[in-house]
Amino acid sequence: MAPRILVIDDEPAIRDSLRMILEYEDYQFVGAASGPEGMAAVKRESPDMVLLDIKMPGVSGLEVLADIRKVDESLPVAMISGHGTITDAMQATRLGAFDFIEKPFTSERVLVTVAKGLELRSLRRENRELKVAMEARYELVGQGPALRKVFEAVQRAAPTTATVLLLGESGVGKELVARAIHRNSTRAGQRFVQVNCAAIPEELIESELFGHEKGSFTGATEKQTGKFEQADRGTIFLDEVGDMSPKTQAKVLRVLQEQEVERLGSARTIKVDVRVIAATNKDLEGAIRRGEFREDLFFRLNVIPITVPPLRERPEDIPLLVRHFAQRTSEEHNIKPAKFDPRTMEALQRHRWRGNIRELRNTIERLLIMTPGDVIRVDDLPVEVRSEGASQAGGTVGTGAGTTQGGPALSIDGNSVAPTGQPGTLREFKEAAERAFLVEKLRENGWNISKTAEALDTPRSNLYKKLEQYGIKQEIDG
């Protein structure tokens, strides 16, 4: 359908000439002779952009502009003005007009502005859709009492600038909680900068966090701003904070104390205003006792601790999560939605998800993609989920409420290596084989990434990518 352009101008001659210019280019023209008439047209005709006369008797163009903004924030408006109305023009820009057409105008001038406006319209639409999709992606699903406690803590902590320390096993949703805190804070409009302290090689982490000047070390060919600077006025999320080296810990502590950073190779300090959220699945108190984690840094981070409980302590959330992931998978992969047999759901709720929600999500995705029928039955489940006894024999660590830290859960049953019950296609077989191979090599090398990468003769970055791709985790596959 041709884009619809609304022209609001009190002079019939201007409306007529714009109508001719626009209709000649196959745009749909909608005319309005006054502000109120124009506002009615905005609501009735849902135009794609507006050309608005700045000077009209009665309600002025600026007032109409402000009203349009209230009704539809993303509708692009260009002003039509006589010459010499600079202050009006500035005012209009402040109110969000994206362009000006000065009278008298040529048709080229009008068409350039209209093209710009329509482009802006589609960008803004796309943006909004992306935002909605992003929000769905980061939605925290679950209503059980355990998660509700987490929600309440998020609500209380979010509006403050206090440092939050998120604790909990791998895959429980710490990253989602961190994003929820940021979204609900006064910094929501600013950046959320995530740093995975475990994935960055030791020799790069400082330059990653604090930035560096050009030439400050071999390989520093360009100046780089660090994550702390990037997060200025926003939130920095220090993920896997328990994996930082003592040297990095000392530097991070300094930033938290002084609220300023120093780029590598620079003597100048830069003030930063960042809200810190940290997360770890490690037992930090144990690490402190072993001398691996600085106690003073722990106290700095541990202002508001929030523990995200493991999935086995909130089986009541499982049906909701299953439906959520099933729907997302069917949308993403364009496959028909599937129903879950009640017995399947029971088995899913009984299973002790050592990989927590990440493992549940992967399982549901695979089930949806691999199961031919539209009802998923118990027999479709991977064997370790189906036979609840077997998965519990793997050694259950006592789970006192709140003590979700326990180091990597060790299990020796080989079941978890195979990603699905039976691979169907060659690709699935290859992937299953590759996954099993990687897990074996990781175990051989004591889950030391550098050593494993070396043994496999592949770059660490590639190994990290594979771990991510297959959802390989020491806690699940160790």
Ligand X SMILES: Nc1ncnc2c1ncn2[C@@H]1O[C@H](COP(=O)(O)OP(=O)(O)OP(=O)(O)O)[C@@H](O)[C@H]1O
Which residues contact ligand X (rule: CB under 6 A)? Answer: 140-142, 168, 170-176, 281, 321, 324, 357-358, 361
Which residues pair with residue 231 across a beta bridge?
A: none
Closest-approach residue to ligand X (CB): 173
The residues, any chain, with a CB within 8 Å of residue 268's CB and separated by 6 or more, are 262
115 token code pair: 């093209």
Which residues pair with residue 262 across a beta bridge?
A: 269
Q: Which does 117 bind (CB under 5 to 8 A by kind): Mg ion, ligand X, none?
A: none
CA distance 244 to 137: 28
Alpha helices, H only, 278-341: 284-289, 295-301, 318-332
Q: Which does 357 bind (CB under 5 to 8 A by kind): Mg ion, ligand X, none?
A: ligand X
CB of 375 vs ligand X, minimal distance in Å: 23
Q: Which amino acid, residue 133? A: A
Q: Which amino acid, residue 336? A: K
Distances, alpha carbon 439 to alpha carbons 249, 297, 304, in Å? 30, 33, 36
The residues, any chain, with a CB within 8 Å of residue 253's CB and separated by 6 or more, are 294, 296, 297, 300
Residue among 187 and 473 whose Cβ is closer to Mg ion: 473
461 token code pair: 């970055």
CB of 172 vs ligand X, minimal distance in Å: 4
Q: Which does 193 bind (CB under 5 to 8 A by kind): Mg ion, ligand X, none?
A: none
The strand pair at 49-53 and 28-32 is best described as: unpaired
CB of 388 vs ligand X, minimal distance in Å: 22
Q: Which does 92 bind (CB under 5 to 8 A by kind): Mg ion, ligand X, none?
A: none
The string of DSSP codes covering 242-259 is GG--HHHHHHHHHHHHHS
Residue among 229 and 359 whose Cβ is closer to ligand X: 359
Q: Which does 278 bind (CB under 5 to 8 A by kind): ligand X, Mg ion, none?
A: none
CB of 174 vs ligand X, minimal distance in Å: 3
Q: Which does 281 bind (CB under 5 to 8 A by kind): ligand X, Mg ion, none?
A: ligand X
Residue among 175 and 317 whose Cβ is closer to Mg ion: 175
CB of 315 vs ligand X, minimal distance in Å: 13
Residue among 174 and 263 whose Cβ is closer to ligand X: 174
User: In the complex, which residues of this chain contact Mg ion (CB under 5 A)?
Assistant: 175
CB of 260 vs Mg ion, minimal distance in Å: 27
